[in-house]
A and B are shown apart, each in its own frame.
Chain A
Amino acid sequence: MNKLLSIVSLSVLFLWVSGCKEPVIDEGVLPFSEPATVDPSGGNWRTIVLKSTGDISVPQPDAITSDAYKSEFAQVKNGVASLEPEKITAINYWAVGGVTRWNQIARQLVAKYNTESGNPLDATNSPASAPFAARLYAALSVAQYDALVVAWRAKYQYNRPSLVDQGVITRAPVANVPSYPSEDAAVAEVSCQMLAYFFPNEAPWLKTKAAEHKQSRIWNGANVSSDIKGGEAIGAAVTTKVVDRLKTDRFSTANDPNNTWTTLLAKAPYDVKWTSLIIPTRPPILPLAGKVKTWFDSTAIAKNLSAAPPATTSASFQKDLTEVRTMADARTRDQSRIAAKWDDGTGTYTIPGHWNMITEEFIHQYRQNELRAARTYALVNRALQDGGTACWATKFTYFVPRPSQIDPTIKTATIISNTPGYTSEHATFASAATAVLLYLFPDEATTLNAQLTEATLSELYGGTSFRFDNEAGAKLGTAVGTIAVESAKADGAK
């Protein structure tokens, strides 16, 4: 009888265990809080693509004493009292911050479309490589920022009181700023349209997201529908201006449709020329991405481009080659970990996306409002894109081989990027982003410098670049980041 009991209880336990299915990934929960500042003078901050906020006119809203407003207001106020669970989920999702959420959505889409190499069934270069992603993140955050500066200007010009000041208790915390036009609607519209420009196939999904974002503000008790309409109009108008810039930034030919890179390769002033290490070989990733129009002073950036690296016959090259080989032969577990952590290859947010993720942590930690968050992203992402552009310009000037091309016994911890190694893209992106983040978050220097060091060395640990690739990349990135910081100092914020 005892035996029977044990069998029964074991079977029950067995069935119980097998009855629980797990999700693939556990999601963290982001806390939300009221922004630390409201930046009432934000409407005077310098815009990026717009010549001034005057480029876009925002009509005067109805007075709060008007019948139209009263009826809108009553609807919102009554709505907050009775919310279905799915509405609460939407409120909580977007209350984390529209700028942040759309940046996350952008990163997820980049990861989805960033399928270059890796998968042998798909032998084409990815449409979403690092230069593509850097440009997308920059365009998105610039558009968000310009739209928000326009929104802020109108907010404090018309001063329609916030709903909180009119006695509405919001479900999730909001910035107490004038409610017209809605900053969230501006962000939702501009983000949705910008991302649809980059990923036209995702347009229907993006529209659903944007509609939910806008609606969540009404459910939350933060905005009435005319606030939303005002914001929406700003978003649409700014998109047009940013898309105009994108059409003339020379990125459309970055993938080099006429294969001019082979001519550049023949002319390259380096003694051993780069070849693709992928089997079968493929054209490099976006060979002309170095010619893309920069966001910051192009003359200043051009002055900082890297000089020629040491020739393969030089003693200093041989020293660096020996270093990579020695490291690859006895790679520690920690070196493999660092290489993997910063790899950001196919199927990921890419390297610029990784730095957006790092930026997001600080935006949260410092409880930046929507406008300030957008400024942070716009600065970091323009520096990232310009850093990438300068890096690509260098790569496709010198065509320096990767270590494994010189010595095939060098095994790598990560897949070798299908681009010349000099300068290292990891080091360049990391230094450009860190220079800006150090300016924005000076108290985080310890954390930031630790990350910078790891990211800069990651390719050396992984066996995919030489120390001189990293050092030149770090120098180049820092130079571009510094140019970005100088520009930031004069944009009226702070």
Chain B
Amino acid sequence: MAAYEYLYLVTYDISDPKRWRRVFKLMKGYGDWLQLSVFQCRLSRKRHAELIALLDGIIHHTEDHVLIINVGPAESVKPQVVSLGKEFEVLERQPVIV
């Protein structure tokens, strides 16, 4: 079966602090915050389309810049990452049990 979800790195440069907050809040709903203006997300085709539509509605095309980088199929990808300082873990999907 074809891969259903992909892992993405999303980075952004937003020139206005108010818009930056909005983008940050939106991104929190779609992925895991890695560091300032960088998120990792697992997205299906539908979520991917949604996220692009929503981001596109917030940013100013002439002043801001968003990059959405596809890292590979979410279930199987093992990104080769050198992580200094903190640990980097690939996002997994699991039920939340508190």
A pairs with B:
no
A-contacting residues of B (Cβ < 8 Å)? none
B-contacting residues of A (Cβ < 8 Å)? none
